[in-house]
Structure 1
Amino acid sequence: MNRATRLAAALAVLVTSVILSGSPAAGAELPDYAVEPLPRIAAGPDRTLVNAETGEQFRPRGFNYVRLTPMPSKPAAPYHSTFEPGLYDAARAETALRDNWLRGYNTVRVFIDPGNGQDNAIGRPHGLGRGNADLSPADAAYLDNVADFVRLAAAYGIYVLPSLDVFPQNGYYRDIIVNSPHPVNVEGRNRSFMYEGYIRAKEEYLRVFTQEMKDRLGTFMSTFLALQLDNEAYLTSAEAPFHRFSGTVTVAGRSYDMAVPAQRQAAADNAFIAYADRGVAAVKAVDPELMVTMGAFTNLAVGKSFDGLSGRCGAVACADPRYPVRVSTVTRESDLDFFDIHTYLATGRTLAASLGSMEWSQVVGPVINGEFGTQRQWFGSIDAARHALVMHQLGSCDFGISGWLYWTWDTTEDATQRTFFNAVESGGVLATALSPKERPDPCRYLSGRVPAPLVPPSPRGQAATDAGAS
């Protein structure tokens, strides 16, 4: 019996149990195809991802699986604790993966915690980096939990997209930074993309993570859809070199005049391209077939344009100093395999306006919608949100989006996240509406019926908010 036949048989048994009981069978065994690695996914022609073995189009459809825990040094701010030793819940993760599989989903996005310097300082480390005394490339117990999750995902035929922001916060990476050339006119957040020491540390992190996963997973590395360099890549106008309209900054061996808007923008664009290319090279030196991607929110979400990080929105100052990576540039000029754009439904944020703010006509290659969702404030009910989210997915097909990962599957640990509709609440209304079992073709409505778009109503006294914990 070949893999496809075994998968169909296993699906038939479990789907029958769902129909009879309304939920996956308690204690259901792993599918018998679990021992076989999934086929690799690769970038295809135009805007598609493809099964590397068959050439068939692959559309990532699934969710962001997120577990959160308050930061010890700042309890109001959570960190991603999905794989934290002592907190990782393999049974809960498997239940979610099984439910995703039964509904026909094929991809899950997760977040890798690099640790936090302030938590290290008070003796409460977490994630991959455990303080300055930790000279290991990455915490082994944490990596074991990531590998366990990937094996579980493979058992259910689900690809994993991990987001790897920054690098482990420990002495090993500190030493890489200390022994690198010191930055000139680069500060704060901007160091991640413009400071040689930080980029070297990120290269080493990506190499280490890829090798450690390869050592643990072997041929099951194919379970990774890609590695994501950053959840949402951005620079800030509030810190050097963009906080003043004077001086120079050097990026990838070339100097830029911060008094000239076009050079300011070129410095930002070329910093992202050089950073992305070095990250891609670090991953592919270990696993040449593993794709690499990057994520971003839209300009519209923060009221920006590609104006050389002026720090202004039209004639007024912006409260939010963040400027996202210029997607049109990195998709044309970097070695990234595909891109991940994040959009949230809210008044004033039509899909056309959101993507238009990113120079969409100039974007090339595959692009997925790695985060989409909505807050409760924009809709009177989950049913109204359901309709709008389906329409969002349908509309995104017209722009060439080729994958959708909802924010989130079941995250409720944090007050900000409770303002978003999650997929499993109210009996799984959204999990069902977006399901490949419900709508095999994500670009068509049920039975070919396409109702009129539903525009989110005006907010009830609140401003739009992005996911917040990412």
Structure 2
Amino acid sequence: MRPKYFSPFFLGLAASLIFSLPAFAENERVVVHGREFALKNSGVAFLPRGTNFNRNENRILPDGSPEWWYRTFDVGYYQPEMVEPILAEIEKSDYNYVRIFLSGQHPDAGFGRTSPGVDDAYVKNVADFLRRARNHGLFVVLTGQFAAGQWLPKNYLPLTTPLENVDGSNQLTLNPSYGKALGQFYRDLLIGLKAQPDDVLSAIFAIDIHNEISVNKREKPLSAGSGTFTYNNHEYNLADNSARQALIDAATVSWANTVIDSIKTVDRQILTTASVFTIGASGNAGFNGASLSDGGDGRAALNPKVQAKSKADFLDIHVYAAGPNYNFEKDMQKEGLSPSSIPNKPLVMGELGTFRDVSPTREIATATLQSMIAKSCGYGFNGWGFWIWDGVGDKSNDVWSLTTNEGAMNAFFAPSANGDLCQAHNSPPVPMAHPNRRGDVLGYIDAIGSNPATVNGWACAREIDQPIGVHLYVNGPAGLGIMAGGVTTADASEPAVAEACEAGGKAYRFRIPLTGEVLEKHAGATVFVHGISPVGRANLLIGNSGALKIPGASAAPSAPVVATPAVNIPDPVLVPSPARVASPALAAGYYEIAGTIYYS
């Protein structure tokens, strides 16, 4: 649903304006071209340069033990003011995507439901983050990973069928019902997001359907060194490592395709992947069927070269440099990758980092990572996501974050500081591809003036020189409040305002008159101003909406109008969607909600 141009205030002009509306601007999407990414509309190459960002807290597991877990989107925990300043800082470094986990206590508890479904409050939290990220020029990778032992949001477990000879984390890939249930979760989430205002789905770069997916040789059926296991009507000999690997490979493709097919039923443009850690990270010698003779912690990552045969759009391998003696070439050799053997799909490093205990100083950490990343270019990697933005988002805080030591790591990794990571030294910054933000509304309510009584401020549409319309509501935003006026920005504005708008216009200020009727009926009411995007983007509330109140008809004047610095950039605001009301006076596709005309 997109608020459009009209209100009862302008109904007399509706008939003449309907047929001269500008075309809706299609939001940019990331697409795959061979082994590279590009922006769909412009065709500009898209090189993923991003960071992981999460917030976590201690939670109590079913056995009563505590565990740190990511919970950014949990209902009652997520707050816009928590993420907004972080996204602004990430934007300053010129990153073009951020990766974040969908996990949390809320989904692990089943969203407060006993049957499948994602509750509206959780969906709105995710939508708010997507909208804010895009407003800061960032695409988003949404990443799935849920409580150990259930592997899904709790209310999706009824969709699964237990198998006697499969347990633990192996259920995810070797029990087909778990793949179907996970796919249903993503389908439900995306349907909820699709119903939100302003096409938030276009902010999604990709869905990582499960973080660091693996099997475990200490759990059934792989814990058995003899006997057979039947998967998709094919029998595999568990005593033969090659047969065991064939089983894992078959499950890799089938599981990924099952989940991805569900995602694509909602939006075929969303890219997908299933991230893995390197096979050597858990102590395995290679992709040898999760051999019981290997040591390690029991986990065996799925083979990315096999994943390339699935419907995943790109591959994501997580690499952590284990100190200055870390050998990237040997790690990739175990992956079956070499400069002459590169997968036929884009390959990104969605998590990369180094640990404090093996890289004790920032000089060692920087040199280790810089060398590793430069070498990765020769192996086909063309995208990197640092782990992690800050220590608050890391459950153990044992890695070097980008903001550690006043941003020492960011000084070499940020696109604004280092244009070409394929060099083993910093190089001049280069232009980065970002989501299309042209037409996004921003602005600020400065004050309520007197003699005459007016609501004063500035508003614009990003990268557009022309003035825009602004609509005034009292006692709530559009859909909740009452419309009390509207004008087009026409007053002279300062160069600083144009700079914030990333445009060259000179008339972004407005004064919306408060009539005597409004002053009498709505004295003490809070004011809200929506900017009207001329290219069909969301008609967002501008900054300071809901903070100022209308004085009484005979009240003393409010503070004088002061030109507000252009740094007052509004936050995107979610507006509830009340029931539609048909309006026969309007053209097809338009309808009215609480006094505002919308287009669908």
Number of equivalent positions: 393
Paired position in structure 2 for 1:109:
99
Equivalent residue number for residue 176 of structure 1: 159
Q: Distance in 1 between matches of 2:217 and 2:277?
A: 16
Q: In structure 2, how many angstroms separate the alpha carbons of the residues matched to 1:218 and 1:162?
A: 18
For 1:189 and 1:447, locate their aligned partners in 2 and report how far apart those are by CA, in whole Å. Answer: 43
| CA 1:131–1:290: 2 relative to 1, 3 Å | closer
User: What is the Cα deviation at residue 413 of structure 1?
Assistant: 6.4
Q: 2 CA distance for matches of 1:238 and 1:60?
A: 36
With over 3 angstroms needed to count, the CA separation of the structure-2 counterparts of 1:97 and 1:378, relative to structure 1, is same
Alignment check: 8 A CA contact 2:116 2:185 kept: no
Superposed counterparts of 1:351-362, under 5 Å: 351-360=328-337, 361=341
Task: Give the C-alpha shift of residue 379 in structure 1.
Answer: 2.2
Where 1:408 maps in the other structure, the secondary structure is: coil
Contact 1:38 1:157 in 2 (8 A): no
Tell me the secondary structure at the aligned position of residue 109 of structure 1: strand
Tell me the CA shift for residue 401 of structure 1. 0.6
- Secondary structure at the aligned position of 2:69 is classed as strand
Q: Which residue of 2 aligns with 1:274?
A: 254
Question: 2:191 corresponds to which letter in structure 1?
Answer: Q
The root-mean-square deviation of aligned C-alpha atoms, in Å, is: 2.2
| Alpha-carbon distance, 1:139 to partner | 2.9
8 Å CA contact 1:184–1:249 kept in 2: the answer is: no
Q: 1:336 aligns with which of 305, 312, 315?
A: 312
* CA deviation vs aligned residue, 1:335-393 (integer Å, no higher than 9, x gap): 11001110011145322122221111263310111000111112231133123222322
1:370 aligns with 2:346: no
Name the amino acid aligned to 1:368. V
Of the three residues 365, 371, 384, the one matched with 1:385 is 365
Match of 1:327 among 301, 304, 313: 304
Show the counterpart of 1:10. Answer: none
Identify the residue that residue 439 of structure 1 maps to in structure 2.
Answer: 418
In structure 2, give the amino acid aligned to 1:390: Q
Alignment of 1:4-403 (within 5 A): 38-45=27-34, 47-73=35-61, 76-113=66-103, 115=105, 126-127=106-107, 129-130=109-110, 134-166=114-146, 168-171=152-155, 173-177=156-160, 180=161, 182-217=162-197, 219-304=199-284, 305-313=286-294, 318-331=295-308, 333-347=309-323, 349-360=326-337, 361=341, 363-403=343-383
Q: How far apart are residue 68 of structure 1 and its match?
A: 0.9
TM-score scaled by length of structure 1: 0.79
How much has 1:86 moved relative to structure 2?
1.9
Letter in 1 for 2:48: P
Quick one: which amino acid aligns to residue 248 of structure 1?
T
CA–CA distance in 2 between the matches of 1:309 and 1:321? Answer: 8
Matched residue SS, 2:31: strand
CA 1:131–1:281: 2 relative to 1, 3 Å: closer
1:260-283, Cα deviation, whole Å (9 max, x unpaired): 222111111100100011111111
* Equivalent residues in 2 for 1:444-459, closer than 5 Å: 444=423, 445-447=425-427
Tell me if the contact between 2:228 and 2:238 (Cα under 8 Å) persists in the aligned partners.
yes
Q: Matched residue of 1:87: which SS?
A: coil
Task: Tell me, in whole angstroms, the C-alpha distance in 1 between the residues paired with 2:167 and 2:177.
Answer: 12
Q: Which amino acid aligns with 1:49?
A: F
TM-score w.r.t. structure 2 length? 0.62
For 2:99 and 2:389, the matched residues in 1 are separated by 10
Distance 1:363 1:383, change over 3 A: same
Percent of aligned positions that are identical: 26
**Residues 336/217 of structure 1: CA separation in 2 closer, same or farther (3 Å cut):** farther
Q: Does 1:420 align with 2:399?
A: yes
**Which structure features the higher share of strand residues?**
2
Q: Distance in 2 between matches of 1:218 and 1:129?
A: 29
1:364–1:174: structure 2 CA closer, same or farther, 3 Å change rule? same
The whole-number CA distance in structure 1 between the counterparts of 2:209 and 2:313 is 12
On the 8 A contact 1:103/1:435 being kept in 2, the answer is yes
How far has the Cα of 1:132 moved from its partner? 8.3
Q: Judging changes above 3 Å, is the alpha-carbon distance between structure 1 residues 447 and 111 closer, same or farther for their aligned structure 2 residues?
A: closer
Q: Which amino acid aligns with 2:280?
A: L
1:141-180 CA-partner distances (Å, limit 9, x unpaired)? 2221111100000101101001113564334x23212xx4
Deviates more, 1:367-376 or 1:432-441: 432-441
- Residue 36 to residue 374, structure 1, CA distance change in 2 (3 Å): farther
Secondary structure class of the residue paired with 2:107: coil
Is the CA contact 2:351–2:384 (under 8 Å) kept in the aligned structure 1? yes
The structure whose Rg is larger is 2
Distance in 1 separating the partners of 2:89 and 2:322: 28
In structure 2, C-alpha distance between the alignment counterparts of 1:248 and 1:193, rounded to whole Å: 17
CA contact (8 A) 1:67 1:411 kept: no
Give 1:62 deviation, angstroms: 1.4
Query: The residue matched to 2:381 in structure 1 has which SS?
Result: coil
Q: Given the superposition, is the C-alpha separation of residues 418 and 36 from structure 1 closer, same or farther in structure 2, using an over 3 Å criterion?
A: farther
Of the structure 1 ranges 432-441 and 229-238, higher mean CA displacement relative to structure 2 is found in 432-441
Q: Secondary structure at the residue paired with 2:124?
A: helix
**Distance in structure 1 (CA, Å) of the matches to 2:178 and 2:248:** 16
Is the CA contact (8 Å cut-off) linking 1:66 and 1:110 kept in structure 2?
Answer: yes
Amino acid at match of 1:423: L
Question: Are the equivalent residues in 1 in contact too, given 2:419–2:426 (CA < 8 A)?
Answer: no
Question: Measured at CA, do residues 132 and 92 of structure 1 come closer, stay the same or move farther in structure 2, by a change above 3 Å?
Answer: closer
